Structure formats: structure tokens, C-alpha cells
């Protein structure tokens, strides 16, 4: 019994080893994939598939992409596809883009498609945009005509991908910025906002003639003004602000002149008080030098009293009744 159990255990162990070996062999040598490639006319060597496994390249992805290319009439070597995968590219997307370009009679060699894909752009979407142009809607663009009226415009820009300038060319943001700049300059050079409202197509044609797609990855087909709205009267607001500023400046200057007049008046009063303070000193000096007598002093006092009385009469407005002297 012991010998029978030992034999069964050894047989099961051998069976497990054989099954594991066959599974590893089938993983290392993808026979179904090799047969599918051979049957599709896109023959790939068996050792090439084994080498892909050893280089950690999924043979299914690369071989499937080659089969699609061969069926579409494109001759792309398996080494180019494997190298593109190892460089971090999307093999399936590149092959699909080349198939779409070939059907649309757009020249797109593999090296250019691979370069576009490795640059981070969607090469398949680029080919689709070459066949079916894309419409880009700009945000609201505000500009002021020469008569001071603000216009708010929205444009529709129809673009098509330029495959030759896709690597290194600017994107949609540059197109939108250039169109906005062109609209602002064109509306700003218009003599009146009414001319823009009457013929907005002239504005779009003028903007289109500036060659705004230079250095970009797109080709501008048309620029259409979708909507034009009259905004605020910027010229009138600027004039009102200027008038308020001039008013404030005039008020400041008037306040400055008033302050200078008050200061001058106070200065004159100070001088008068200072001069009046010198009168007693001058009188004392005149008494000492004998230039003024006691009668002169009394006459001056009477004159001062008469002056005070006249000031009081002028302030009250009542003339005292004249009493005859006895």
C-alpha cells in the first residue's frame, strides 16, 4: 500500500510539472497568435514572438495592429511597431490613424504618425479633423468702435488639422487668442459701430486675411460672426469720468485759493495787531522825547472815543438824537 501511495504521489507531481511546463511554453510561444498572423497574410516569425515575450512587449497588441494594417493594404514592419511600443507610443491608435488617412487619400507615413503620437497629440483625432473640420466657438469678445460704443461678438472658427505642422504647431488656445485680437483691432478701427452691425461679414473677412493660422497645427477655413451685441457707451462713460475728474481738480484748486486767502487775511490781522501793539511804545517814547504833550494825548483819547461811538452807531443802525449844547 505504501508503494502504491508513493507511486500515485509521484505521478501527480509529474503531471503537475508537465502541465505547468506546457502552460509556460504556450505563454512563451503564442501559437494561436502565430497561426492567426499566418492565416491573415501578416506573417510573424515564431522566434520574433518569443523575443517579444522576453522583451515584455505584448505580442497580441503588436500582431493585431500589424494584421489590421496588412488587411488595409499598408506595409508596416513588425520591428517598427515594436519599437514604437517600447518608446511609449500607442501602436493601435497609430495604425488606425494611418488606415483612416489612407482611405481619405491623406499622405501619412509611419514615421510622421509615430512622431505625432510620441509628441502627445492624438494622431487619430488629427486625421479625423483633416477629413471633418472642427468648429471652435470663441468666448465673448468685447471691443470698442471709434464712436465709443462697445460691441460684444462671438465667432465660430472652422479649422482643419494640418498634418505637416502638427508636431511643434500651436493649439486651439492660440487660434482663439489670435481671432480675439483680430476682432478687437478690426472693430476698434471701425468709424462707427453701425457699420459693424450692418456688415459683420466684412469684419470676419478682414480678420481671416491676416493669416492667423501661421505657426499653428491648424488651417483656418472660415471665421463667421455668430452674434454681435451692443454693450455700454464707453465713450460717454469716459467723458463723464473725465468731467468728474476735472470738477474735482477745480474744486481742489478753489479750496487751495480759499485757504491761501484765509491765511493771507490772518497774516494781515496779525500784522495789524502787531502794529497796534507798537502804539503805546511809540507814545511813551514821544512823551520821553518831548514830541507829545498831555493835551495831544487827551485829544487822541477823545478821537478814539468818538470813533468807538461811530462804530456802535453803525453797528446798531440807530442814530442818537442830537441834544443841543447849553
> What are the pLDDT digits (tens) for 90-127?
888 999 998 988 888 888 888 888 888 888 888 888 88
Q: Please, is 252 exposed, middle or buried when counting C-beta atoms within 10 Å of its C-beta (0-12, 13-18, 19+)?
A: exposed
Going through the chain in order, the beta strands assigned E by DSSP cover 134-137, 141-144, 149-161, 218-233
d(CA 175, CA 167): 16
d(CA 304, CA 85): 118
d(CA 81, CA 202): 50
Residues in a beta bridge with 277? none
Confidence (pTM): 0.58
CB 141 within 8 A of CB 183: yes
Considering the chain, tell me which residue range(s) the CATH 3.30.479.30 domain(s) occupy. 134-233
d(CA 44, CA 82): 12
Q: What is the pLDDT of residues 139-189, one digit of tens each?
A: 888 888 888 888 888 888 888 888 888 777 888 888 888 888 888 888 888
Largest CA-CA distance found in the chain, in angstroms, rounded = 178
Q: What is the dihedral of CA 52, 56, 60, 63, to 10 degrees?
A: -40
d(CA 49, CA 239): 79
Mean pLDDT score, 278-296: 73
Domain 134-233 has CATH 3.30.479.30: yes
Task: Report how far apart, in Å, the C-alpha atoms of 291 and of each of 91, 98, 128, 294, 295 are.
Answer: 126, 126, 120, 10, 12
Share of the chain above pLDDT 70, in %: 86
221: helix, strand or coil = strand
Question: What is the pLDDT at residue 12?
Answer: 65
Q: What is the DSSP annotation of 272-320?
A: HHHHHHHHHHHHHHHHHHTSS-HHHHHHHHHHHHHHHHHHHHHHH--PP
Q: Of 173-182, 263-272, 281-290, where does mean pLDDT reach its minimum?
A: 281-290
CB 73 within 8 A of CB 101: no
Amino acid at each position: 500500500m505504501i508503494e502504491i501511495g508513493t507511486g500515485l504521489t509521484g505521478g501527480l507531481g509529474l503531471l503537475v510539472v508537465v502541465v505547468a511546463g506546457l502552460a509556460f511554453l504556450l505563454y512563451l510561444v503564442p501559437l494561436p497568435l502565430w497561426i492567426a498572423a499566418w492565416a491573415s497574410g501578416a506573417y510573424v516569425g515564431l522566434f520574433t514572438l518569443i523575443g517579444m515575450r522576453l522583451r515584455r512587449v505584448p505580442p497580441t497588441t503588436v500582431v493585431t495592429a500589424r494584421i489590421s494594417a496588412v488587411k488595409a493594404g499598408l506595409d508596416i514592419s513588425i520591428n517598427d511597431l515594436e519599437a514604437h511600443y517600447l518608446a511609449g507610443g500607442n501602436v493601435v491608435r497609430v495604425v488606425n490613424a494611418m488606415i483612416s488617412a489612407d482611405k481619405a487619400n491623406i499622405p501619412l507615413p509611419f514615421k510622421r504618425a509615430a512622431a505625432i503620437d510620441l509628441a502627445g497629440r492624438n494622431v487619430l483625432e488629427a486625421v479625423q479633423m483633416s477629413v471633418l473640420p472642427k468648429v471652435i466657438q470663441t468666448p465673448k469678445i468685447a471691443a470698442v468702435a471709434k464712436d465709443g460704443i462697445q460691441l460684444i461678438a462671438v465667432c465660430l472658427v472652422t479649422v482643419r488639422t494640418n498634418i505637416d505642422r502638427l508636431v511643434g504647431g500651436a493649439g486651439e488656445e492660440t487660434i482663439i487668442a489670435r481671432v480675439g485680437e483680430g476682432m478687437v483691432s478690426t472693430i476698434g478701427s471701425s468709424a462707427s459701430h453701425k457699420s459693424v452691425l450692418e456688415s459683420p461679414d466684412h469684419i470676419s473677412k478682414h480678420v481671416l486675411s491676416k493669416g492667423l493660422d501661421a505657426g499653428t497645427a491648424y488651417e483656418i477655413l472660415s471665421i463667421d460672426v455668430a452674434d454681435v451685441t451692443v454693450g455700454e457707451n464707453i465713450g460717454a462713460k469716459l467723458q463723464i469720468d473725465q468731467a468728474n475728474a476735472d470738477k474735482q481738480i477745480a474744486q481742489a484748486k478753489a479750496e487751495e485759493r480759499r485757504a491761501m486767502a484765509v491765511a493771507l487775511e490772518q497774516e494781515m490781522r496779525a500784522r495789524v495787531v502787531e502794529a497796534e501793539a507798537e502804539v503805546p511804545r511809540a507814545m511813551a517814547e514821544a512823551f520821553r522825547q518831548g514830541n507829545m504833550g498831555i493835551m495831544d494825548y487827551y485829544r487822541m483819547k477823545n478821537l478814539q472815543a468818538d470813533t468807538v461811538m461811530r462804530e456802535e452807531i453803525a453797528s446798531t443802525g440807530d442814530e442818537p438824537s442830537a441834544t443841543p449844547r447849553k
